[in-house]
Amino acid sequence: MTSLAPRSSLSPRWLTMHRAVLLALLVLAVVSFIVATADSDFAYTPEQLLVSLVIALAVTGAGTYLCAALVRVPPGADSWAITALILFFLMPGVSDAASAVSMVIAAGAAAISKYVVVWRRRLILNPAVVGAIAAYAVSYAGVTIGGVPLSSPFWWVAAEPLFYPMLIIGILLVTALREWWLVAIFLLASLATVGVLQVTQGGQDLQFVFVSSPTLFLAAVMLPEPLTSPTSRIHRAVYAIIVAVLMNWQQTFEITDAYSLEFVPQIALGIGCLYAFVVRLVAQRGAGRVVLDTQVDRIAENTYRVRAQTTSPLRFAPGQWAMISAPRWSAPLWQRTRRVFSYAEAPGENPAEFAFTVPSAQVSTFKSDLIESRRSRLYLDATGGDFTLERRVGRHPLVLLAAGIGITPYRSMLRTLTLGDGRPDLSWLTVVHVVGAAERTVYDDDLDILRAAGARVEIIADAGLTAGIAEPAAMVDLAGRAVHSGDAHYLVSGNPAFVRTTAATIRRTDTTTRWAFWRIRTDAFLGY
C-alpha cells in the first residue's frame, strides 16, 4: 500500500515491517556489545549491557504474555521483543540494584500498557514510550533503592561511537519501511526548530542535536510505529513536526515549586501519539479495534474475496487500505499476524470487502487459514492511505491503471461513483486492467456499469504486461485521448514492477507530468 507499507519493493517478501525493525534493533545491539568490548571509555561494560538486555526481554515478554492470558487475547508476535530492545537502548545499563529496578519498571509498564493504555482494544501510546515515561516519572519523584536514586531514561543509543552504525542502520530501515516522507519532515522540523532557537537565543549545536541526541534513533525506529502514528500523509507530517518541535524546543514549564515539565524525547513522542489518537477518533468516529466476522470465497483463479461483517459500516475514503490482524497463540517471534488489504467496497456498505491473490506455489499461513476457513474472526487495527479520489472528480481526464488484484482500490472508488440514483457521466474516466490470463479477471459486472456510463474500459490478458506497460505506443493505445489532453491525472496500482515501469512510461508519454508530478500517484501491492 502507499503508506505504512511493510516493506519496500526492493526488500524480500518475508521482511515485514515488524521484522525489519526487529532485525535493525538486533544488529544495533550486536554493534553496541562490540563497541562496549573494544572501547574502554564507552559508558557501559558488556556485562552491564547484557544484564540490562536480559531484564528488558524477560520482563517485557513475561508481562506481555501474562496480560494476554488474563484478557484472553493472543499477543502480537515480535512486538514485545521490539519494545524490549527499544527500552534496552533508552534505559541506562544495569550497574546496581537501582538501575535494575528502573529497567523492571520501564519494561513492566510497557508490557502492561498494551492492555491498559488502550481505547476499545486499540493502543493510545507507543508501549516503549509508556515504559520510558513511567521510569522518568519514578526517577523524577526521587524514589531511591538503598539510597541510590532510580534511573531515568538515558537514551545511551545516542553515544557518539554508535552514530555511524545508527546512521547506516537507520537509512536501511527507513528505506525498507518506505518512511522517508515522515522521517524527512521530522529531520527538517528539527533543523528548523534549532535554527529558530539559534536566531532567538543563540548557543545551539547542530552536532549535539544530530549526533549526541537520540534524533536518528527516534526518527528511524520509534516515529513510524504504525498503530500509534497517523495513517494519512498530511497528519503524519503534522505528527512529525509536533514531535520534532517539542523534542528540540528546550523549554521547561514550572508546574509547582517542586515539579516542572520538560519535553524530553519520550514526552514529546507521547504527545505525538496523543495527536494521532485524536485524529483517529475524529476521522473514524472512534479509534478502537473493530471485530470482523469474515467469509472467504474464490472469485477468479488464485484470487479470493473476503467479506467482513461489522456491527456498523466502516468509515474510510475510497482507495484507502485496512490493516487487518488475526492474533493467535504461536511462537513468540517471527510470526506474521497482520496484513494490509485495500477496501474493495464503497464507504457505508456492509459487509466490508477485500480481495487478495495467492501465488501458485507458496501461500502464507495467514492467507491459507482464510482460504481454508480456519480463521473467521479478524480485527481491523487501522485505516489509512492517500491513494484516493479527488473530492471533485470529472474536472479533468482520469486514467486508472491496475495490474492483477491492484484493481481493488479502484473498485471501491468506482462503486462510490456509480452507486445511487441515475446514471452518471463518466466519459472523463479510463480504466485499464492488466491480468496474467483471462481467467484472472475480476469485477466484470462493475466494469460493465462503467462502460454503460461512458467510461473507457480496457481489459488486457497478457502476462508480459503485468510487469509494467513499458512502451509509450502501448500507453497511448490503452489510455486513449487522455494522454494528449495535457491535464490528465493517473493512478497506478499493482505489483511494484508494474507500478514502477508504468509510471515511468507515463512520464515519457505525457511529458507534462514531468513537472506536474502530483498528477501521477501510485499504490504498490507487495504481495506479502
Strands, DSSP E only, in 233-371? 252-254, 260-262, 290-300, 303-309, 321-325, 338-342, 352-357
Least confident of 116-120, 321-325, 364-368, 502-506: 364-368
The 10s digit of each residue's pLDDT in 29-60 is: 999 999 999 998 999 999 999 999 999 999 99
| Amino acid 186: pLDDT | 97
Amino acid (1-letter code) at residue 3: S
| Amino acid 7: pLDDT | 37
Upper half-sphere CA count for residue 275 (Cβ side, 13 Å): 22
* C-alpha cell read off for 51: 544484564
Over range 338-361, report the average pLDDT.
87
The answer to whether residue 4 scores a pLDDT higher than 90 is no
The answer to whether residue 76 scores a pLDDT higher than 90 is no
Q: Where in the chain is the domain with CATH 2.40.30.10?
A: 290-384
Instruction: Give the CA distances from residue 122 to residues 38, 125, 382, in Å, rounded to whole numbers and listed in that order.
Output: 43, 9, 9
**What mean pLDDT is reported for the chain?**
88
What is 262-280 written as a DSSP string? E--HHHHHHHHHHHHHHHH
d(CA 16, CA 507): 31
Looking at domain 290-384, which of 3.40.50.720, 2.40.30.10, 2.60.40.10, 2.130.10.10 is its CATH number?
A: 2.40.30.10
Are 508 and 474 contacting, i.e. CB atoms less than 8 angstroms apart?
no
Q: Where in the chain is the domain with CATH 3.40.50.80?
A: 398-524
The answer to whether residue 1 scores a pLDDT higher than 60 is no
* C-alpha cell read off for 11: 526488500
Over range 21-29, report the average pLDDT.
96
| Amino acid 3: pLDDT | 39
- Is beta strand 148-149 parallel, antiparallel or unpaired with respect to 377-384? unpaired
| Amino acid 200: pLDDT | 86
Are 68 and 111 contacting, i.e. CB atoms less than 8 angstroms apart?
no
Q: Which of 193-202, 390-399, 404-413 has the highest mean pLDDT?
A: 404-413
**CATH number at 398-524:** 3.40.50.80
Over range 450-455, report the average pLDDT.
92
Confidence band for 6, pLDDT divided at 50, 70 and 90: very low
Rg (CA), the chain: 25
Which residues touch 59 (CB under 8 Å, ≥6 apart)? 84, 103, 104, 107, 108, 111
d(CA 361, CA 353): 25
Where b means 16+ CB within 10 Å and e means fewer, 369-398 reads bbbeeebeebbbbbbbbbbbbeeebeeebb
d(CA 88, CA 284): 35
The answer to whether residue 213 scores a pLDDT higher than 70 is yes
Are 519 and 490 contacting, i.e. CB atoms less than 8 angstroms apart?
yes
Assessment of whether the complete model's pTM goes beyond 0.85: yes
The 10s digit of each residue's pLDDT in 264-292 is: 899 999 999 999 999 988 876 655 678 88
The 10s digit of each residue's pLDDT in 132-177 is: 999 999 998 888 888 889 989 999 999 999 999 999 999 999 998 8
d(CA 331, CA 222): 24
Confidence band for 2, pLDDT divided at 50, 70 and 90: very low
| Amino acid 423: pLDDT | 74
Over range 492-511, report the average pLDDT.
93
Over range 221-236, report the average pLDDT.
92
